[in-house]
Structure 1
Amino acid sequence: MQWLSLIPALTTIFLTFKTKKLIPSLLAGVVIGSFISTRSIFNGITSIGEFIIDVLTDKDSAYTLGFLIAFGALAELIEMAGGISGFSQKVEKWAKSERGVLGWGWLLSIITFFDSSFHTIAVGTVLNPLLDKVKASREKFAFILSVTSLQLILLIPIATGYLGYMVTLVTNNIKDTGIKENAYLIVAKSVIWNFFSWSMLLIALGVTIFGFGFGKLKIGTAKNESEELTEGHVKKEQKANEAVQEYPGKARNLIIPILILLSSTIFFFWWTGKEKAPTFFGALSSADFNVSIFAGALLTILVAGVYFLFQKISLAEIEAHIIKGGEKVLSLIIILVLSWALTSVTQELGFNNLVSEGFIRSIPRFLIPAALFLISGIISYTIGSSWATWALMMPLAVAFSINTGVNITTMIGTVWAGGAVTDVVSPLSADMAKTSFGEHMVTSLPYVIAGAVISVIGYITVGLLF
C-alpha cells in the first residue's frame, strides 16, 4: 500500500493547479496524509499538529526559519535608512540607455544577492524611474529582474537565504542513507548541475546585450486577472505597500551592511569549522553552516542598527522596521513549514520505499537526470513555488541516486533546476517593473521553454557520458 504515499503530494499539486492558492493546497495535502497515516479522523486531526511541530522543533529547520526572518528584517532596515534610494541617485548618472539600465540590474546583484525578494524590490525601486527616461521595455526589465533574483542567487554558494534552506533540505534527506559527505559541500557542488539556471543566465545576458527580439515572440495572450478580494482589502494592501522615503538617501546605508554581512558570514564559517580543520579553506568547508549564516545575519542587524543610531534614527524606528521585515516573510515561512510537513507525511507513508523498488531500475540510466528535471519543472510551474517543489522532490532525487548510482550532486542539481522553472515568471518582478503579470508571462514563456529544452539536452548528454 506504499502507493498511498503519492496521494498527499498529488492532492497538493491538483488543488494548487485548480485554485492557484498554494498554502491551502499544502495544508490539504498534510491533512489528507495525516488521515491516511492514522486511518482515523480524530487521530488524523491530532497528528496534523504533530507533523508541523516536529518540523518546527528540528534544529536545522528552526535555523532556516530564523535566518529568513533575519534577512527580511535586514532588508527592511536598509530600505528604511535610505540605502536603496541613495543608491538610485548614484545609478541615475550612469544609466543612459535600455542596455545600461538592464546592465545595472545585473551589477546591483553584487550588493543585493543575499535575498531574492530584497534584490527584486531594491533593484526595481532603484531602476524603475529610469525606464521611461531611456524608453526601455518594462516586460524586458521584469524578465531580467526575475532571472537575476532566483536564477543568479541560486548559483551563489554563500550568505543567501536560499543556501540556508538548500543545506537544511539536503541534510534532512541524507540522514540515515549512508551518505557521509558534508551537506554544504554537496549543495556547493550541485550548483554546477543546475543547467536551467545557467541557461537562463545566458539567455538573459543575450537579452540584455543584444535584445534577442524580446517581446516579438509571445506564447498566449495576457488576460486581466479576476479580482477575488474586496475593494477594501485591495486598498489596504496598496496603502501598506506604498514606498515611503523616511530618511535621506545614502548609498552607504546599503553598501556597508552588505559588506558586514559578507565578512561576518565568512568569519563565522571559519570560526565554527576551525576545530575540525587546520587550514582556512578547510575550516570553511567544515563549518556549521546554519549556525554561521544565522550568526552573520544577527551580527549584521546589530551593527547596522547601531550604525543607524549614530545617524539620528531612533531605536523605536529601528525596532518597528525589524518587526515589519520579519512580518514580510511570514507567508514564505508558512509555505516552508507546510512543505516540510508534507514531505514528512509522505515519508511516513513509505514514499522512500516506494521509489526504491523496481520501477527506478526500469528507467534507462541516461534518462534519469532529464526525467527528474522535467518532473520537478512541471510541478514547480504548476504549483508556483520553487521552495515547495524542492521539498517534494528532494527525497526522490536522493532515492534515485542511491538506487541507480547516479552522482548525488548531479541529482540534487536537477531538483534545484526544476524548482527554479517557476520563478522566471515572477509576480513581484512584474509589479516592480510596473507591468501586468500577464504580459510578463507571455513575453517570458518562450525563453523559459528555451531554457528547459537546453537543460533537457544537457541532462541527457550527462546521462550518456556518465
Structure 2
Amino acid sequence: MAAEYGIISLLPALLAIVMTLVSRQVLLSLFTGIWIGATILVGWNPIEGAAHSLQMVINSVTASFNSKLLLFTFLSGAMLGMIFLSGGMSALAQRIISRIQTRKQAELGTGILGMLIFVDSYASTMITGSVMRPITDQFDISREKLAYLLDSTTSPVVSVAVVSTWVGFEVGLIRDQINSISSIDQSAFMVFLQSIPFRFYSLLAVTLVFILIVMDWDFGPMKQAEKRAKEEGKVLGDDADPLIETREEDIDTPDHVDPRWWYFAVPIVSLVAVTGFGLLYSGGWPSKAPVEALKGAATADAILWGVFSACALLLAILVGHARVELEEVSDSIFEGFKMVMFPVAVLSLAWTIGSVSEALGVGPYVVSISQGIITAPMLPAVVFISAAIISFAIGTSWGTMGIMFPVAVPLAVQLGAPLPGATGAILTGSLFGDHCSPISDTTVMSSMFAGADHVDHVNTQIPYALLCGVVATGLFLAGGYGVSSLTVFGYTVGPLVLLVAGVAALFVAAYYLSEHADVNVPTTFGSSSD
C-alpha cells in the first residue's frame, strides 16, 4: 500500500499540520486532514471519505491503549479538580516559592523535577506541570517556556532511562530484530545500553534546556514570549487558547478548609509509587527480575492504576480530613473533566491522523526513498532523518520505532554499519520528529499540563528542536564517516567525544541565535505573541 500512494501519502498529515499552525484551529485542521486521507483511502469519494473518517476516529478512540490513556486523562482532570478544591497545590507552591527566589531557580526546578520523574513521560509531564505551573506563573515565566521545559525534560530522559515505561518497548523491538537475524550475536538489552551514547538528539535536547536556563538565553518566537511575560506580566498571549482553561482560582476552596501542602504531595507520591509498582507487577515481578519485568510491563494499565489511586486518596483526604461535602467534591471532579475535554478531543484526532498516515504508507514510502541513497557511512544520519520525518507526519515516536526497526536494522547488518549507532538513530530520530509535530500526544500533553496554547507551544519549541536536530545530524554524519574511530593523541574518538563536540556546537549556536540574531524574528507560523 505504501508504494501505491507514494508522495500523496504525506498529504493528509502535512495539510493538517500546516492548517493547525496557520489557522490555529486545531480540531478543524486535524479533521480536515483525516477526511482528506480517508477520501484517498476509499478511492477519492469525499462522501464515503467522510463516513470512513468517522469510523477511523472511533477505531482510534476504542483501541485498547488509547482508550486507557483517555481514561487516564479524564482521571487526571478529576485529580486536578480535587487538588484545586483542597488548596493543596497552592499551599505547596507557597512553600516552594519561599525557597525559590528567582526566575532561573524556578526554571531549573522545573527542568530537574521533569528529569527526576523518569518512570513515565505522561506521569512526569502531568506532575511537573501541575506542581510548577503556579510557581512559574509567580515569576512571570511564559506558559510557552514551561511547556518547552516539560516536553524537553520528560520524553528525552524517559527514553534513555533503564527503568521506565519506554525501556520495555524499545528493548522488545531490538529483541525482535535480533531473533530474526541469525548473524547478530548480542543481547537486546546490551544493544539498548550501547545505543544510549548515540541518542544524540535526546541528550542534546536536555542539554539545551539547561544551557538556555543557566545562560538566560532564548531565541526565535520563545524570545518574544519571554519578553512579553517579563515586561508585561502576561504568561499567555492576548489571543492564546490554553488547552486547560480552568485555573486553580476557578475552583474555590471552602472557607473552613485549612489547605495543607500534603493534600497535594500525598496523592502525587501515591501516583508515582503505584505506577512504578504497576509497571513491575504487570511485567511479572517478583517472579522476574525488575529489568525483565519492565520489558513486559503494561504501561497504560500502570499509569491508570496510579492516577486512580491518587484520586481515591484525594477523595478520602477531602471527605475524611478536610471535611468537605460530597457535593462540592463532585462539582470539582466535573470541573476537572471540563479541563481535559479539549485535550481529549485533540488526542483522539491526533491518533486518527496518525492512523490515516500509516494506512497510506507514509513510513514505507519515506524508507523506500531513503534506501536508494544509503551507504554504510550515511546510514545513521539517513535513518535519523527518516525517523524524524515519519514521526513528524504520524505524531508518534513509538509508532515510528515500530516502522523503522524492521527496515533499518537488517539494512545496517547488510551494509556492515554498527548496530548501536543505527539503533540510537532510530530511537532518537523518532523523538526529534515527535517534538516538532503538533499532532504528537506528548506535545499535546505538554501544552495541556503547562496550560499553554498548543500552537504557541509548537511554534516556540520547533526552533530549539531543529537546532538540536541539525547538530545531531552532523554528529551522525561525523560518526558514520569514521570520525568516531579516529585516534587523537593515542585515544580513540568515540560517541561520547562526538557528544562533547555536539554540546560545544550547541552552546555556540545558542549564543549566536540569542545574542546576535534579530530580536524581532517572526514566529514560525501564526502565533499569539506580540
Inter-CA distance 100–33: structure 2 relative to 1 (3 Å threshold): closer
Give the counterpart of 2:86 among 81, 86, 97. Answer: 81
Bigger CA drift: 186-195 or 251-260?
A: 186-195
Secondary structure of the corresponding residue to residue 243 of structure 1? helix
> Does structure 1 conserve the Cα–Cα contact (< 8 Å) formed by 2:271 and 2:307?
yes
1:324 matched residue in structure 2: 335
How far did residue 252 of structure 1 move?
A: 0.8
For residue 59 of structure 2, the aligned residue among 44, 54, 58 is 54
Kindly state the Cα deviation for residue 201 of structure 1 after the two structures are TM-superposed.
Answer: 2.7
Q: Distance in 2 between matches of 1:111 and 1:200?
A: 17
State the distance in 2 between where 1:459 and 1:281 align: 29
Q: Of 339, 345, 353, which aligns to 2:356?
A: 345
How far does residue 31 in structure 1 lie from its aligned partner after superposition?
A: 0.9
The corresponding residue for 1:420 is 435
- 8 Å CA contact 1:257, 1:300 repeated in 2: yes
Moved more, 252-261 or 273-282: 273-282
Q: Is 1:312 the equivalent of 2:323?
A: yes
The structure-2 alpha-carbon separation of the partners of 1:272 and 1:104, relative to structure 1 and needing over 3 Å to count, comes to: closer
**Consecutive aligned runs of 4 or more in structure 1 exceeding 6 Å deviation:** 166-171, 177-181, 183-192, 233-239, 375-381, 426-432
Amino acid at match of 1:78: I
- Asked if 1:105 is matched to 2:110, the reply is yes
User: Cα distance, 1:445 vs. partner?
Assistant: 7.7
2:253 maps to 1:243: no
Q: CA RMSD in A?
A: 4.8
Q: What is the CA–CA distance in structure 1 between the aligned matches of 2:449 and 2:290, rounded to whole Å?
A: 39
- What is the aligned counterpart of 1:268 among 272, 278, 284? 278
Report deviation, 1:97. 3.9
In structure 2, the CA distance between the partners of 1:208 and 1:16, relative to structure 1 (3 Å rule), is closer
Structure 1 stretch 78-87 or stretch 251-260: which is displaced more?
Answer: 78-87
User: In structure 2, what is the Cα distance between the partners aligned to 1:180 and 1:257?
Assistant: 42
Q: Is the aligned partner of 1:26 residue 2:37? A: no
The superposition leaves residues 40-99 of structure 1 with CA deviations (integer Å, 9 ceiling, x where unpaired) of 344323222222222223212222222222233323322332222111221233223444
Asked if 2 retains the 8 angstrom alpha-carbon contact of 1:151 and 1:201, the reply is yes
1:152–1:201 contact (8 Å) kept in structure 2: yes
Q: Does 1:253 align with 2:263?
A: yes
Distance 1:10 1:207, change over 3 A: closer
The answer (yes or no) to whether the contact 1:373–1:456 under 8 Å persists in 2 is yes
1:125-174 deviations in Å (ceiling 9; x for gaps): 12433x3xxxxxx46x767634431111214549x9xx87x799989x97
CA distance in 2 between partners of 1:391 and 1:54 (Å): 18
- Give the distance between the partners of 2:149 and 2:37, measured in 1 at CA: 37
The 1:154/1:193 distance shift into structure 2, 3 A limit, reads: farther
For CA contacts below 8 A with separation 6 or more, give which structure has more relative contact order: 1
Q: What are the within-5 Å matches in structure 2 for residues 187-336 of structure 1?
A: 194-209=199-214, 211-212=215-216, 214=217, 222=224, 240-241=246-247, 243-244=249-250, 246=253, 248-274=258-284, 277-310=287-320, 311-336=322-347
- Counterpart of 1:119 in structure 2 is 128
Instruction: State the 1:400 CA deviation.
Output: 4.5
Q: Per the alignment, do residues 241 and 102 of structure 1 end up closer, same or farther by CA in structure 2, a change over 3 Å counting?
A: closer
In structure 2, do the counterparts of structure 1 residues 179 and 329 end up closer, same or farther at CA, with 3 Å as the change threshold?
A: farther
Q: 1:97-176, aligned counterparts within 5 Å?
A: 97-106=102-111, 108-109=113-114, 114-116=123-125, 119-129=128-138, 131=139, 138=140, 145-157=146-158
283 and 376 in structure 1: CA distance in 2 versus 1, 3 angstrom threshold:
closer
> For each residue in 1:318-352, what CA deviation from the matched residue of structure 2 results, as whole angstroms up to 9, or x when unmatched?
33333332332333322332233223333333445
Match of 2:469 among 446, 452, 460: 452
Q: Given the alignment of the two structures, is residue 2 of structure 1 paired with residue 5 of structure 2, yes or no?
A: yes
- Paired residue secondary structure (1:287): coil
Give the aligned residue type for 1:145: L
Q: For this pair of structures, how many residues does the alignment match?
A: 432
The answer on whether the counterparts of 1:269 and 1:292 sit within 8 Å (CA) in structure 2 is yes
Change beyond 3 A, Cα 1:180–1:157: farther
Cα separation, 2, equivalents of 1:337 and 1:429: 17
For residues 479 and 82 of structure 2, what CA distance do their matches in structure 1 show? 44
Rounded Cα–Cα distance in structure 2 between residues aligned with 1:447 and 1:351: 25
Partner of residue 404 from structure 2, selected from 397, 400, 403 = 397
1:93-142 per-residue CA deviation (whole Å, 9 max, x = no partner) reads: 3223444444433455457982535533531312433x3xxxxxx46x76
Distance across 2 between alignment mates of 1:413 and 1:458:
13
State the Cα distance separating 1:296 from its structure 2 match.
2.0
Q: In terms of mean alpha carbon deviation, does 455-464 or 259-268 score higher?
A: 455-464
Structure 1 residue 263, shift from structure 2 partner = 1.5
C-alpha distance in 2 between matches for 1:68 and 1:35: 31
Alpha-carbon shift at residue 373 of structure 1 (Å):
5.0
Q: TM-score, normalised by structure 2?
A: 0.65
The Cα offsets for residues 234-267 of structure 1, whole Å up to 9 and x where unpaired, read as 9999995472452543211221111111211122
C-alpha distance in 2 between matches for 1:179 and 1:318: 52
Query: One-letter code of the match for 1:326?
Result: F
In 2, are the aligned partners of 1:26 and 1:339 still within 8 Å (CA)? Answer: yes
Q: Deviations over 1:274-293 (max 9, x none)?
A: 27943344333332222222
CA contact (8 A) 1:397 1:412 kept: no
Q: Structure 1: where are the runs of 5+ without partners?
A: 132-137, 225-232
**Consecutive unaligned residues in structure 2, runs of 5 or more:** 181-187, 229-238, 413-418, 438-442, 485-494, 496-530
Following the alignment from structure 2 to structure 1, what is the Cα–Cα distance between the partners of residues 167 and 295? 13
Q: Residue 186 of structure 1: CA displacement?
A: 10
Task: Find the aligned partners of 1:106 and 1:156 in 2 and give their Cα distance.
Answer: 11
Aligned residue identity for 1:256: V
Residue identity in the other structure for 2:426: M
CA distance in 2, matches of 1:462, 1:236: 42
Whole-Å separation in 2 of the counterparts to 1:282 and 1:237: 37
| Aligned partner letter, 2:71 | G
What percentage of aligned pairs have identical amino acids? 18
